[in-house]
Structure 1
Amino acid sequence: MHPQAASLWRHPRWTLAILLASLGMLGPFSIDTYLPAFEGIARSTGATPVQLQQTLSGYLLGFAVMNLFHGALSDSFGRRPVVLGGLALFTLASVGCALSERIETLILFRALQGMSAGAGMVISRAVIRDLFPPDQAQRVMSQVTIFFGVAPAVAPLLGGYLYVHADWHAIFWFLSGVGALLWLVNWRLLPESLPPASVQPFALRPLMQGYSSLLRNRRFLLLVLASGVPFNGMFLYVLAAPTFLGQHLGFAPTQYFWFFVCSIGGIMGGAAWSGRLAGRIAPERQVRRGFSIMLAATLMNLLLNAFAPQHALWSLPLIGSFSLGWALMVPVVTLMVLDQAPDRRGMASSLQSAIAAAANALVAGALVPLVMHSLLGLALASAAALCVGLGAWAWVQRGNSPANTG
């Protein structure tokens, strides 16, 4: 923790949560806002379905690659400069997307968006742990997740409205305005939370050695997998939203927000529950409870997709229940991840985000195109993501057992 943590933020704690949530939401907001415009982008640019999917996978790949460096840069140069630089680049990349007339140009600027959008998400976690001890950090992390959930719920509604009443270019002009506004707000309010004693020299070789050390830390890797991979059990439905909602469920672009209301509502509910449980029950018990909810929702989703006619009345609430279980356990596991490198939390957060984003990019570019035309295929892919997370958490618990800790 920063030795002057109490004086760095004198406003109510929930206002810091809103500020950090606004940074964290930029990544998913940039995805959810333009999904309703896929059909218009295809008509305007002559893009194939594979090329449209590349606007997602290119974004996520850029997100994953640069996430390796956001946190490490913030460990060396401070949290504020990296956040402000990332927001400036995001704003310029959004302008590039808005001016794009060819699908290849759009893919390029989407990749630049992804490279810059992750800075706030990575660094906001480090800021929380810089300023608060574990129990308070979990509560703030939960508050951030609650506020974070508002934007993705609103994003598809705004995107659908802009697409219907203007065109798809207007969505990216809107995102450039969001980026500029966030830059101004964070320039005025974001504190520099990096403790002076924790400043690390930025050099590529020591950085790679640090990453190598973390990658050899089995507990770190298992915790990252336990928190990040199950997210794809819900996220693949987001990535497949134009097909899942438009073709399978028959939704119009302006109705996509019902899906996001359920999924983000689940995230907000789980995060609020997580904050209430902080310090009241053992962290491991809270994680098990979250996995139990995800497992129950997954089994029901598989059964209904296999034997019942498709219907939004049960499809969307089950995705929301899965999201609730994930949000209940992820603040706890994220703090466990950061505490694996207490002197370089920015680097730990970077590597966690990079691994998770690489998994997201793989799901977007390879898995979703294979399964999005089948509801049962989507359900099976979601179940597979959960199984990876469950297996990783079981391995963590095995390492914590008395037989392995003596």
Structure 2
Amino acid sequence: MSSPSTQPFAMGGREFVAMMASLQALQALAIDAMLPALGVMSHDLGVDGSNERQLIIGIFLIASGLGSLFPGALADRFGRRPVLFVCVGGYVLFSLAAALAPTFGALLAMRACAGVLSSGMIVVSSATIRDRFSGDKMARTQSLVSVVFMIVPMAAPTLGLAVLELFGNWRWVFGIMAGLGAAVFVWAWLRLPETLHPEFRQKIDVRAIAGNMRIAFTTRSAIGYVFALALIQGALFGYINSSQQLVAEHFGAGDLFPLVFGAMAIAMAMANLTNSRIVMRFGARRVSHAAVIAYIILGATQLFFASGEDETIWQFIPIMTLNLCVMGFISANFSAIALQPFARIAGAAASLQVFLRMVIGSVLGALIGQAYDGSARPLAVALVAAGVGCLLLVMFSERGKLFRRLHGQVEQA
């Protein structure tokens, strides 16, 4: 059952999807636009370690995870809008500060601060979607959001490369980030109403917040999906962290790397679009459970080729692309299934779930990235391990029964 907003919701469905996607995409922009510039940034700031450059991405991801624990409780108390605008405004300011960073350490510090603020955009947008939708409808909406969201990974590396070529300075990449963040801020300020129902407002009380977090953490039907998605995101972040070295350098894509990365993102977007069209017919559980099995098979295939001495880019890219497509079926559905039971505490539940996913995923992603050894083997091993762990965690939440479609699921108070 959808929850009514506290203001008339004049915004149309397409605009709502586009706005939620834009809010989430600002975080993706802060990750993917950096990729073509990592080598230039690290060299310009006196850091030449081949893997150390990955910290520009890894620190942002870890900070995003840590920062996501708090915005949800605040949004449950004060509403979605105030928390959202603080987070977007902070993202803009720290992006500008990163553009002026004089040292590598200062850049990492600004990236960490921007990461903390960006987490609120993910948490609040997720809670806002839950305010309006539930069940398979929420999974469908999140899939549509992901379709638009995927445009950013598709375009961001090309944007970063274009900025480097046009301005000859990586600092302008952060300036573009700040400008786009400011545009989304104005759009949301003018068009997004408050969606938190007055009866669902929670107290700012440590015991109340802890109680809500405990409910979110101990609900078996949800928590397995949270940890499962954290493993899948960890493998994805591991790929993102090492993609420039792996695809551009090891496999020799060179300047074609942004195009390759973008094409893979297009495929992932198409998978999300397909999911939005079939999830209402088959259900989020059936679709995502089948996707997990396919993910394991693709990971094992990737490991088979990576274990050889002469793996080519024509072996790596098609399989990795299919893996990302399957991930598109997993992510939106898992997110919806995990948040479904928590209508009254959607903010707190979203905070805890994003916190667990981002912290676990970013730490795993950093470890996978740092394990890069000049081949695709560490990533392939991570894909298989993440898939098997994901399946076991889903079976925990589903009490050993896969491919069920639940109707009339009871919501937590």
What is the TM-score when the length of structure 2 is the normalising length? 0.91
Residue 207 (structure 2) pairs with residue 205 (structure 1): yes
Match of 2:194 in 1: 192
Tell me if the contact between 1:236 and 1:382 (Cα under 8 Å) persists in the aligned partners. no
Tell me if the contact between 1:372 and 1:378 (Cα under 8 Å) persists in the aligned partners. no
Tell me if the contact between 1:262 and 1:316 (Cα under 8 Å) persists in the aligned partners. no
Deviates more, 1:56-65 or 1:306-315: 306-315
Deviates more, 1:144-153 or 1:389-398: 389-398
Alignment of 1:210-249 (within 5 A): 210-249=212-251
Match of 1:159 in 2: 160
Alignment of 1:88-99 (within 5 A): 88-99=89-100
Aligned equivalents of 1:214, 1:399: Cα separation in 2: 21
Q: What do the CA deviations read for 1:146-187 (whole angstroms, capped 9, x no partner)? A: 000001110000111212332111111111111111111111
One-letter code aligned to 2:353: Q
Aligned equivalents of 2:101, 2:142: Cα separation in 1: 37
Aligned equivalents of 1:234, 1:56: Cα separation in 2: 13
Task: Say if 1:220 and 1:351 are closer, same or farther in 2 by CA, change over 3 A.
Answer: same
* Structure 2 SS opposite 1:121: helix
Tell me if the contact between 1:157 and 1:255 (Cα under 8 Å) persists in the aligned partners. no
Q: CA deviation at 1:19?
A: 0.6
Task: Say if 1:400 and 1:296 are closer, same or farther in 2 by CA, change over 3 A.
Answer: closer
Tell me if the contact between 2:368 and 2:379 (Cα under 8 Å) persists in the aligned partners. no
Q: CA deviation at 1:308?
A: 6.4
Match of 1:57 in 2: 58
Q: What do the CA deviations read for 1:107-147 (whole angstroms, capped 9, x no partner)? A: 10000110011212111121112112433322211110100
Deviates more, 1:211-220 or 1:189-198: 211-220
Deviates more, 1:237-246 or 1:391-400: 391-400
Aligned equivalents of 2:313, 2:8: Cα separation in 1: 47
Q: What do the CA deviations read for 1:39-77 (whole angstroms, capped 9, x no partner)? A: 111221112435423322221221011100111111111
Match of 1:292 in 2: 293
Tell me if the contact between 2:92 and 2:177 (Cα under 8 Å) persists in the aligned partners. yes
Tell me if the contact between 1:89 and 1:116 (Cα under 8 Å) persists in the aligned partners. yes
Tell me if the contact between 1:98 and 1:170 (Cα under 8 Å) persists in the aligned partners. yes
Alignment of 1:6-405 (within 5 A): 8-49=8-49, 51-165=52-166, 166-252=168-254, 254-307=255-308, 309-398=310-399
Tell me if the contact between 1:232 and 1:360 (Cα under 8 Å) persists in the aligned partners. yes
* Structure 2 SS opposite 1:136: helix
Tell me if the contact between 2:36 and 2:258 (Cα under 8 Å) persists in the aligned partners. no
Tell me if the contact between 1:292 and 1:325 (Cα under 8 Å) persists in the aligned partners. no
Q: Name structure 2 gaps, 5 residues minimum.
A: 405-413
Q: CA deviation at 1:266?
A: 3.0
One-letter code aligned to 1:31: I
Q: CA deviation at 1:363?
A: 2.3
Tell me if the contact between 2:3 and 2:133 (Cα under 8 Å) persists in the aligned partners. no
Q: Percent identity, aligned pairs only? A: 23
Task: Say if 1:181 and 1:25 are closer, same or farther in 2 by CA, change over 3 A.
Answer: same
Tell me if the contact between 1:14 and 1:143 (Cα under 8 Å) persists in the aligned partners. no
Aligned equivalents of 2:373, 2:189: Cα separation in 1: 41
Aligned equivalents of 1:344, 1:231: Cα separation in 2: 24
* Structure 2 SS opposite 1:278: helix
Q: CA deviation at 1:4?
A: 3.7
Tell me if the contact between 1:2 and 1:195 (Cα under 8 Å) persists in the aligned partners. no
Q: Name structure 1 gaps, 5 residues minimum.
A: none
* Structure 1 SS opposite 2:102: coil
* Structure 1 SS opposite 2:60: helix
Task: Say if 1:371 and 1:8 are closer, same or farther in 2 by CA, change over 3 A.
Answer: farther
Task: Say if 1:203 and 1:399 are closer, same or farther in 2 by CA, change over 3 A.
Answer: farther
Deviates more, 1:308-317 or 1:354-363: 308-317
Q: What do the CA deviations read for 1:11-59 (whole angstroms, capped 9, x no partner)? A: 4312211110001111121011011111111221112435423322221
Aligned equivalents of 1:175, 1:283: Cα separation in 2: 34
* Structure 1 SS opposite 2:62: helix
Deviates more, 1:136-145 or 1:13-22: 136-145
Q: What do the CA deviations read for 1:308-338 (whole angstroms, capped 9, x no partner)? A: 6232223122122111112113322212211
Tell me if the contact between 1:2 and 1:131 (Cα under 8 Å) persists in the aligned partners. yes
* Structure 1 SS opposite 2:129: helix
Task: Say if 1:263 and 1:8 are closer, same or farther in 2 by CA, change over 3 A.
Answer: farther
Aligned equivalents of 2:331, 2:3: Cα separation in 1: 27
Aligned equivalents of 2:12, 2:188: Cα separation in 1: 16
Aligned equivalents of 2:3, 2:209: Cα separation in 1: 25
Aligned equivalents of 1:45, 1:186: Cα separation in 2: 36
Aligned equivalents of 2:14, 2:109: Cα separation in 1: 37
Aligned equivalents of 1:367, 1:4: Cα separation in 2: 43
Task: Say if 1:225 and 1:183 are closer, same or farther in 2 by CA, change over 3 A.
Answer: same
One-letter code aligned to 2:12: P
Aligned equivalents of 1:366, 1:331: Cα separation in 2: 25
Q: CA deviation at 1:400?
A: 5.2
Equivalent residue pairs, number: 401
* Structure 1 SS opposite 2:352: helix
